Amino acid sequence: MMKLSDKLVKDIMSKDCVTVTLLDNVFEIALKMKQHDIGFVGVLDGDTFIGGVTDRDLVIRGYAEKHSGSTAVETVMTKNMITVDPNTSVEEAAKVMAQNQIRRLPVVEKGNLVGIVAIGDLAVRGSFEDEAGEALSRISQERTLVGSH
């Protein structure tokens, strides 16, 4: 039987990744997020993962900057995202998320997006309440400090 400390990202990640290409636009991203009830969409160039768009990206870089629904993906996407390999330990993934104040972590293998680990996956799928709680606490604490200036 696998101990919790031995769990890997590939054991808890969501594998059904919704993606777009650079040919898509902000409206199409928002529509996919609504249809799939998600807050992250990966951006691919062919089969290669080149970045992602969160619901927050759509608001901050898209609508708050007065961009229309026909605005290119590239305008709102996050490039050079922090990613992990499927064989990364869940504990290490939680640390990466906490240290970088991120709630979603793309899982990439040989340049391909193979999954997503969300902060909730750490607690729900892996019974890692402590790691998820610590990561979320650090993320929230950093955002509160940043937002209070």
CA 137, CA 125: separation in Å to the nearest integer? 19
- Is the whole-model pTM more than 0.75? yes
* Under 8 Å between Cβ of 123 and 114: no
**pLDDT of 120:** 86
What pLDDT, on a 0 to 100 scale, did the predictor assign at position 144? 46
Please tell me the CATH code under which domain 7-147 is placed: 3.10.580.10
Contacts of 132 (CB under 8 A, 6+ apart): 94, 119, 120, 122, 123
| CB-based contact 38:113 (threshold 8 Å) | no
**How many degrees, rounded to 5, is the angle at CA 62 between CA 57 and CA 63?**
115
Q: pLDDT averaged over consecutive 10-residue blocks of the chain (149 residues)? A: 72 94 96 96 96 95 91 95 96 94 95 94 58 57 47
Whole-number pLDDT of residue 124 = 56
Amino acid 127: pLDDT? 46
pLDDT at 121: 84
Tokens of 51: 């970045």
Whose CA is closest to 78, among 108, 36, 43?
43
**Which one-letter amino acid corresponds to residue 17?**
C
Residue-level pLDDT at 122: 81
Terminal C-alpha separation, the chain: 48
